[in-house]
Amino acid sequence: MDNSWATFGRDLHLDLSGPGGLRAALMRALREAVRTGRLAPGSRLPSSRSLAADLGIARNTVADAYAELVAEGWLSARQGSGTRVAWGYRPDGAGGASPGARATPPARRRPPEQDRRPDQPRFDLTPGTPDVSSFPRTAWLAAARRALTAAPHEVFGYGTAAGRPELRTVLADYLARARGVRADPDRIVVCAGFMQGLGLVSRALRGEGGGPPNWPGEVRGRTAQASRNPRRPGEDWRQGDGQLAVESYGLGFHRTVITRVGLRTVPLSVDERGARTSELSALDDVRAALLTPAHQFPMGVPLHPDRRAEAVNWARATGGYILEDDYDGEFRYDRQPVGALQGLDPDHVVYMGTASKSLAPGLRLAWMVLPDRLVDKVLAVKSTGEWQSGSLDQLTLAEFLSSGAYDRHLRTMRLRYRRRRDQLVAALTEHAPHVRISGIAAGLHAILELPPGAEQSTLQTAHRQGLAVHGLTFYTDPAATAVSRDALVVGYGTPPDHSFANVLDALVSALPAP
Amino acid sequence: MDNSWATFGRDLHLDLSGPGGLRAALMRALREAVRTGRLAPGSRLPSSRSLAADLGIARNTVADAYAELVAEGWLSARQGSGTRVAWGYRPDGAGGASPGARATPPARRRPPEQDRRPDQPRFDLTPGTPDVSSFPRTAWLAAARRALTAAPHEVFGYGTAAGRPELRTVLADYLARARGVRADPDRIVVCAGFMQGLGLVSRALRGEGGGPPNWPGEVRGRTAQASRNPRRPGEDWRQGDGQLAVESYGLGFHRTVITRVGLRTVPLSVDERGARTSELSALDDVRAALLTPAHQFPMGVPLHPDRRAEAVNWARATGGYILEDDYDGEFRYDRQPVGALQGLDPDHVVYMGTASKSLAPGLRLAWMVLPDRLVDKVLAVKSTGEWQSGSLDQLTLAEFLSSGAYDRHLRTMRLRYRRRRDQLVAALTEHAPHVRISGIAAGLHAILELPPGAEQSTLQTAHRQGLAVHGLTFYTDPAATAVSRDALVVGYGTPPDHSFANVLDALVSALPAP
């Protein structure tokens, strides 16, 4: 079997250069492969013997690296099953995504407590998933019944890339009301999760959707600032190359989606006012910037109003786009939600929302509100692949929204998550007052700042206790110049209600002493 | 607006060479663009003036070509809306797919008769869609309720690329019983339609899924016949290039899926015994053959037993694969269904089934049973894109299958489609005895053979009467050497029951006189 791994290192492009010796370099390379999803959760690694042979290094070096990564929770080792990528490290999060690994054998129905793989954590504080035990089954079923009963026959036939008109109509109303989005149904495209949407827009930006080489908006929108740039953006963009700016803290898997279509990513620094949008105008050949304006992921700050304006101005001046990842915009606790950036300029902002945080990732339903001149391009790209989400779920969500069940569910969950956040803050205040917590005004996760150098050891302690939690390092773009701070990213939305107190105990006891 | 079309001809690679003058060449090129999906249904064509300028030909030539294609039903022209690709020409069919065009504005609920676009046909005999008015709404809802009530919480979270274990377990049983497939749940991958599956397998064959350069099966499986070939298949395959054999009659859109990932297609002739599998061994660098063994699409013949053996032997000898598109294997009327080819050799046949014909395309649910050595590769490829179908529909289908509702629905529909087929045969026997009908032992469509040269004029008559129907030309691979016969491909599954008698009247009156 090990033969099949003979080229593992080469296939994964494990780069063993850099400081700190071979073991450190191998650990860095493996972490990066997990972080970017090149190594999927659950996938088996080669034996230390065969990887050592493949890389031409000592077997002990590989074995030691494996052991440390197991201790840190990146990998898991089981008797007879070899070393695998740990399940806790699914690259979920902001927009949300879990690249599937080979599934476990079909499971019988078991009580949830017994329903974990031997290498699964007992407690899960990784962000990206809401409390799925709170999915509103009864209300969803009622909406499905009403939707299916009233549906025209054509619903069961082939549909369109844009999605069901019923859903797009209701979404336009909802997004205007709840998020300040300037939407009309013809500019909404339903997609199967944020990841699919990001891939589609990236491909459209790369020119795959066809159309004229000079996009009208780019030429029309050019100003004095843009014309300092000798390149004619429209023409360059047709060549396929180009950059997409991403926040320096974010999800490696999102960067992978972008680079896979042939665009490069370039990091934008993040500070206490959110992404430093001033850096945009100094960057070359940037077509778009992927931002989390309502609630930076994972740092948890909203984008400052000045920077919101600055981002939109940059897009107008250069003919670029802001991709607004509004993954948890509905969840804000201490004041009114921050409206969508898209409201400032619907011609230069792609708004992207999802049901993965507000309802359930398992639905695979998300939506984009596109600038008019991107609609046909994105639909053209979508038509070349899996162009349509399941119609019945789309109709059910439309009914769920229009009946008010969605608002009711959000109110319930907002109270519940707020209570959890308050419990988290109280537990830290009592048991770990030296740990500063931030990013807690909104969303389903918080940042716990650790003493310098304490992140890895804290993670090791947490993982030994069966607590899945990520360090900020996991969400730091390796291309970013600033050094990542030591911190934990605590996704408090994930555990079911009944175990939340136990989860907090485990977390607190994993934190370093003052 | 027309400026945006300045490069239409270039972008579409309209090739105006070939016999018969510019008008004929332009018509050929536009038909091919529609057939392959490069021009999506509903998409707007440039004005004749601007296309003429773009191509450097006379405006009248373009206007005449448009007018004839409108008459033939490929395009539709409407006052104020310009010329568009007709909706009847969605590239559905065998595996089934309808690349979505920009959707029409949200529709209010209207009675079905009023629910068509002005350019939509009154009657639809294009194949690829079952009678969606017969979708078993009540039984489906009951299954959804049972499934959702019993579901473990994790169903609502992120899932795996393989699909829900509940569904894979039930599918393995069902496929073994109903189709003679040798399946186990670990080799089943749920996907969102045949098209997604075909794309995934094509990418895996091209080497995207990683793994060792020499696939064990290929090396192990090599025989005297294969070793006449100096190439080492495993190594070549990793280069990305290669060919996939397709039946010379089939769906242009399937070929487009294959070529888009970087493989070439090469046609296999089709005769009254199905695909001529003997041609496989004479072809170079062929990695797989896409076949419709149970019911050739669209010719309607089953693959002869000798050729089934021949196909499998070729795959064994060369380390290649048969991709078995079992799009309508459940519908056979006059004798027992032909078992799946996959039963002969699960290590060399990829079985691909779908709910699009048996239930509804709008569900976007299909499945593959993969040879063991393709499973990880296909899952790795799937994990890089939209890796997961909606969990609730997957659970509902599992419940629908295991409760027996699927079998009951199939029995009902089999009787209904068989009655339609008998009505079709009776109508032709009475009113058009000179038109030979074939391919009627199974499936949801039939071939009506026309006098030589009569296909285009028959289509024109049909389309003038508001009857959407395709000629065999539409399904003929332009790369095939044999000349397409004149015939209609009549999808009798599509219309709702209540209008079927009227549809038959319209069809019969469109047929040429004896």
Interstrand relation of B436-438 and B243-247 (parallel, antiparallel or unpaired): unpaired
- Is the pLDDT reported for residue A514 higher than 70? yes
- Is the pLDDT reported for residue B71 higher than 80? no
pLDDT at A86: 72
Percentage of residues in chain B having pLDDT higher than 70:
82
Q: List pLDDT tens digits, range A477-510.
A: 989 987 778 999 999 999 988 999 999 999 999 9
Nearest to B117 by CA among A154, A341, A121: A154
Asked if residue A42 lies in contact with residue A102, where contact means CB atoms within 8 angstroms, the answer is yes
- Of B335 and B125, which is predicted with more confidence? B125
B384·A260 Cβ contact <8 A:
yes
**If you count residue pairs, one on A and one on B, with CB atoms under 8 Å apart, how many are there?**
276
Confidence band of B476 (pLDDT split at 50, 70, 90): very high
Q: List pLDDT tens digits, range B430-458.
A: 999 999 999 999 999 999 999 999 999 99
How does the average pLDDT of chain B come out, rounded? 83
Measure in Å the smallest separation between the Cα of A72 and chain B Cα atoms.
23
Tokens representing residue A148 in the block: 């299916």
pLDDT at B514: 84
A158·B260 Cβ contact <8 A:
no
- Of B24 and A153, which is predicted with more confidence? A153
CB atoms near residue A110 (< 10 Å): 10
Measure in Å the smallest separation between the Cα of B454 and chain A Cα atoms.
30
pLDDT at B393: 96
pLDDT at A146: 97
Confidence band of B12 (pLDDT split at 50, 70, 90): low
Q: Which of A154-158, A237-241, B88-92, B374-378 has the lowest mean pLDDT?
A: B88-92
A212·B90 Cβ contact <8 A:
no
- Is the pLDDT reported for residue B284 higher than 80? yes
- Of B364 and A19, which is predicted with more confidence? B364
- Is the pLDDT reported for residue B494 higher than 50? yes
Average pLDDT over residues B232-251: 70
B158·A101 Cβ contact <8 A:
no
Confidence band of A325 (pLDDT split at 50, 70, 90): very high
Which of B115, B376, B392 comes nearest A393 by C-beta? B392
A393·B391 Cβ contact <8 A:
no
- Is the pLDDT reported for residue B350 higher than 60? yes
Confidence band of A395 (pLDDT split at 50, 70, 90): very high
- Is the pLDDT reported for residue B501 higher than 90? yes
- Is the pLDDT reported for residue A212 higher than 50? no
B212·A152 Cβ contact <8 A:
no
Average pLDDT over residues A335-360: 93
Residue of chain B whose Cα is closest to the Cα of A375:
B102
- Is the pLDDT reported for residue A3 higher than 60? no
Strand partners of residue B489: B447, B470
The Cα A333–Cα B129 span in angstroms is 48
ipTM: 0.79
Asked if residue B262 lies in contact with residue B241, where contact means CB atoms within 8 angstroms, the answer is yes
Output the 3-class SS for B203-231: HHHCCCCCCCCCCHHHHHCCCHHHHCCCC
- In chain A, how many H helices and how many E strands? 18, 17
Q: How many angstroms separate the Cα of A343 from the Cα of each of A178, A190, A309, A316, A347?
A: 12, 19, 11, 14, 10
Percentage of residues in chain A having pLDDT higher than 70:
82
- Of A179 and B219, which is predicted with more confidence? A179
| DSSP class of B352 | E
CA angle at residue A488 from A487 to A489, to 5 degrees?
120
- Is the pLDDT reported for residue A328 higher than 70? yes
Confidence band of B49 (pLDDT split at 50, 70, 90): confident
